[in-house]
Amino acid sequence: MKISIGNDHAGTEYKFAILKHLEAKGFTVTNYGTDSNDSVDYPDFVHPVAQDVESNKAHFGIIICGSGNGANMTANKHQGVRSALCWNKEIVALARQHNNANILSIPARYTALPQAIEMVDTFLDTAFEGGRHKNRVDKIPVSC
């Protein structure tokens, strides 16, 4: 499975830990995030992740910034992307089960690192339920 990951300066530590965790599990991960704690603009690191998911170069994306909000808003500008801002594993499970989320947005300043790793595992291990949820998810994209 291919996963793309991106982060700003607030998520660097989390990104490195998640990368190590995913690679140990055998996932192929493309790193678009900054490797520094120096201030950067999150869209520069989130758009490539969303583009990979949008073009099916990656099965899933993980994005990390301080609040998770800016990264999440940026990713959701891409067609076919359903990025979910999550702060615990229960929200992550519902985002996958009910919304078929394909990008997980993690708020680094509001989650502990072990919690973030647990959220990533839940995200990758949880399937979309389809059924009544599919009709709703199918209504998300705007056709012009």
Q: Does residue 76 lie within any of the structural domains?
A: yes
Q: Residue 98 catalytic?
A: yes
Question: Which range of residues forms the domain containing residue 6?
Answer: 2-138
Catalytic residue among 9, 47, 65, 86: 65
Q: How confident is the model over 27-74, as pLDDT tens digits?
A: 999 999 999 999 999 999 999 999 999 999 999 999 999 999 999 999
The pLDDT of residue 144: 56
Look at the chain and report how many structural domains it folds into: 1
Q: Does residue 144 lie within any of the structural domains?
A: no
Q: Does residue 35 lie within any of the structural domains?
A: yes
pTM, 2 dp? 0.96
Q: Does residue 143 lie within any of the structural domains?
A: no
- Domain containing residue 94: CATH number: 3.40.1400.10
88 pLDDT higher than 70: yes
95 pLDDT higher than 60: yes
Backbone angles phi, psi at 13, to 5 degrees: -60, -45
Distance CA 128, CA 31 (A): 25
The DSSP code sequence of 32-71 is -S-SSSS---THHHHHHHHHHHHTTS-SEEEEEESSSHHH
Q: Does residue 53 lie within any of the structural domains?
A: yes
Q: Does residue 50 lie within any of the structural domains?
A: yes
Categorize the per-residue pLDDT at 141 as very low, low, confident or very high, splitting at 50, 70 and 90: confident
Q: Residue 65 catalytic?
A: yes
Catalytic residue among 59, 78, 86, 98: 98
Q: Does residue 108 lie within any of the structural domains?
A: yes
